[in-house]
Amino acid sequence: MSTMLSIRDVRKVYDGGGEALKGVSLEIEEGEILALLGPNGAGKTTLISIICGIATLTSGKITVGGHDVIEDFRAARRMIGLVPQEMNLEPFEKVINTVALSRGLHGLPRNDSYLDEVLKKLSLWDKRDTPIRELSGGMKRRVLIAKALSHAPRVLFLDEPTAGVDVELRKDMWQIVRELKAQGVTIILTTHYIEEAEAIADRIGVISRGDILLVEETGSLMRRMGRKDLLIELHEPVATIPESLSKYDLRHGERDDVLIYSYDTQAARTGITQLLTDLSEAGLVLRDVQTRQSSLEEIFVGLVRDNNAEDAA
Ligand SMILES: Nc1ncnc2c1ncn2[C@@H]1O[C@H](COP(=O)(O)OP(=O)(O)OP(=O)(O)O)[C@@H](O)[C@H]1O
């Protein structure tokens, strides 16, 4: 696989002095789906706008398919399709004309059979002669995607594609994204929804206050999510965890009479039975045990909270 999008140490300071991106670096492979997950104001739209040439970067370097987005703007832009957050559609225009015009704006010749294919793929074929204003919100979103695909881009950006859409349309959107990936299109989507990132992304990047906090393969994040904590409450506090229990990597809870054991729920053996025997042999008496799931939501909230605390310090 080759790198399709390379982002190196990108900073963005808006005119008012706000630093929206604080040195973001990221490499995205051809055919990959990356989800950028982050709260409001994290810098997701700013990053996409810079890559697409809508905003300028303060410092750093970005290439798309090897083309520098500043020095080689046209070639870079030709490779990119953008589905924006806002509906920027002409209400009286017909669907087919809207999409054809978008292709023309990229300086490409007419290609009716390609556009027919795009409309069919997005279930817009029977609406091709309908004026935009007569479409439902969901259909308008599909038109935004059709516009973005009108010049057969190799990289597609979807800025919060499913914000405010119903469950059915969300699932349809995910299916569309998967089909595009199967054709080798590289996809970067921003989202507030963790389950959306989990459902379709190969990797998940967490962004907060202009910093990328983590980029990790979705499967490995899911495995982390598959970890559970066993909270062991003891009759008496233990200041030091006995040496005989070192293989369990136990740690203290909030109090000295609580020990925590983390284990993988997917593993063939969780080690819990043996741990309980070994605890008793070490002379520790149990009062209670309970389990606790650490979810991706928790990982995410924890990361963002730590980042905010660092910024405040
Ligand atoms: N044109 C602008 N001028 C000044 N500041 C801006 C501008 N656009 C965005 N910002 C600021 O930059 C920061 C990042 O905003 P951005 O829109 O990129 O975040 P986001 O992650 O896309 O948020 P959301 O999820 O709400 O869309 C915010 O603090 C925002 O107020």
Pick the CATH number of 227-293 from 3.30.450, 3.40.50, 3.30.70, 3.30.310: 3.30.70
CA of 86 to the centre of ligand 1 (A): 14
Kindly compute the dihedral angle of the four CA atoms of residues 128, 129, 131, 137, in this order, to the nearest 10 degrees.
-30
CA 42 to ligand 1 center in whole angstroms: 7
ipTM of the prediction greater than 0.90, yes or no: yes
Residue nearest to atom 2 of ligand 1 (CA): 14
38 touches ligand 1 (CB under 6 Å):
yes
pTM, to two decimals: 0.78
Helix or strand holding residue 20 (H, E): strand 19-29
Instruction: Give me ligand 1 centre to Cα 97, in Å.
Output: 32
Residue whose structure tokens are 């990289």: 155
CA of 40 to the centre of ligand 1 (A): 8
Atom from ligand 1 closest to the CA of residue 49: 18
Q: Is 16 in the pocket of ligand 1 (CB under 6 A)?
A: yes
Q: Within 10 A of 256 (CB to CB), how many other CB atoms are there? A: 13
Summarize pLDDT for 226-250 with one digit per residue, the tens: 678 899 999 999 999 999 999 999 9
Q: Do domains 3-79+154-223 and 227-293 have the same CATH topology?
A: no
Q: Parse the chain into domains and list their residue ranges.
A: 3-79+154-223, 92-143, 227-293
% of the chain beyond a pLDDT of 90: 65
Classified by CATH at the fold level, domain 3-79+154-223 comes out as Rossmann fold (3.40.50)
Q: Which of 77, 26, 310 is nearest to 190 (CA)?
A: 26
Q: Calculate how far, in angstroms, residue 109's C-alpha sits from the geometric centre of ligand 1.
A: 36
Helix (H, G, I), strand (E, B) or coil at 279: helix
- Angle subtended at Cα 309 by Cα 303 and Cα 313, rounded to the nearest 5 degrees: 145
User: In ligand 1, which atom is closest to the CA atom of 46?
Assistant: 18
pLDDT of residue 213: 86
Are 198 and 206 contacting, i.e. CB atoms less than 8 angstroms apart? no
Q: Is the minimum distance from the CB of 84 to ligand 1 under 6 angstroms?
A: no
Taking CA atoms only, the protein residue closest to ligand 1 atom 9 is 46
Q: Is 54 in the pocket of ligand 1 (CB under 6 A)?
A: no
- Of all residues in the chain, what percent carry a pLDDT higher than 70? 93
Task: Tell whether the model's pLDDT for residue 300 goes beyond 80.
Answer: no
> So what's the pLDDT on residue 294?
60
Q: Is 18 in the pocket of ligand 1 (CB under 6 A)?
A: yes
> Mean pLDDT over residues 247-262, rounded?
91
Both tokens assigned to 287: 């009062």
Which of 14, 85, 209 for mutating ligand 1's site (highest number of atoms within 8 Å of CB)? 14
| Alpha carbons 169 and 12: distance in angstroms, whole number | 34
Would you say the CB of residue 24 lies under 6 angstroms from ligand 1? Answer: no
Please tell me the distance from the alpha carbon of residue 287 to that of residue 277, in angstroms, as a whole number.
Answer: 14
Q: Which of 80, 123, 85 is nearest to 102 (CA)?
A: 80
Which tens digits make up the pLDDT trace of 84-122? 988 889 999 999 999 999 999 888 899 999 999 999 989
Per the DSSP assignment, residues forming a β-bridge with 171 are none
pLDDT tens-digit profile of 149-207? 999 999 999 998 887 777 888 888 888 899 999 999 999 999 877 778 888 999 999 88
What is the CA(194)–ligand 1 centre distance, in A? 20
